[in-house]
């Protein structure tokens, strides 16, 4: 599947990326940059939560790996932010199989290894609902 990225609208604000694998963190940051978004990357959800509290919830999207080190896992992080800032869109990733009942509401789950196209389509689905990007 190839995706026409030109259909993605500008993303306002910084996207939070939580991924402890340096290669995947860099890849996610590069993908967001490619589609016109700024990112703030963290190795732990704990640090991301501290940042988000200081930023008063100013964030359009979080992409969180479930199995990150620290007190808070990716799934818990998304549940916490959805409770406080329901406007923040979320993508949960994991190399572990996560049952649909565990994935927080209104969250897109991408099992690793996810494809570049799947990530871009997921971002577009959350950031611009009703305006899907075209698949070539």
Which structural domains are found in the chain, ordered by start?
Answer: 16-127 (3.40.50.2300)
Q: What is the pLDDT of residue 62?
A: 98
Query: Which residues of the chain fall below pLDDT 50?
Result: 1
Q: What is the pLDDT of residue 6?
A: 67
DSSP letter at 68 equals -
Which residues, including other chains, have CB under 8 Å from residue 18's CB and lie 6 or more apart? 41, 42, 43, 44, 45, 48, 62, 63, 64, 65, 68, 74, 77
What is the torsional sign of CA 83, 86, 88, 94? positive
Q: What is the pLDDT of residue 36?
A: 84
Q: What is the pLDDT of residue 117?
A: 86
C-alpha to C-alpha distance for 87 and 96, rounded to whole angstroms? 27
Q: What is the pLDDT of residue 133?
A: 73
Q: What is the pLDDT of residue 1?
A: 46
Give φ, ψ of 119 to 5 degrees: -65, -45
């Amino acid at each position: 599947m190839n995706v026409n990225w030109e259909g993605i609208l500008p993303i306002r604000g910084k996207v939070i990326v939580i991924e402890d694998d340096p290669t995947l963190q860099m890849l996610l940051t590069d993908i967001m940059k490619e589609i016109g978004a700024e990112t703030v990357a963290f190795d732990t959800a704990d640090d991301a939560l501290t940042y988000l509290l200081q930023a008063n919830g100013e964030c359009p999207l979080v992409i969180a790996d479930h199995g990150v080190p620290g007190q808070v896992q990716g799934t818990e992080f998304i549940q916490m932010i959805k409770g406080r800032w329901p406007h923040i869109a979320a993508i949960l990733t994991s190399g572990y199989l996560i049952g649909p009942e565990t994935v927080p509401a209104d969250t897109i789950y991408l099992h690793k290894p996810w494809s570049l196209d799947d990530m871009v389509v997921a971002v577009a689905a959350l950031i611009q609902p009703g305006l899907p990007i075209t698949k070539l």
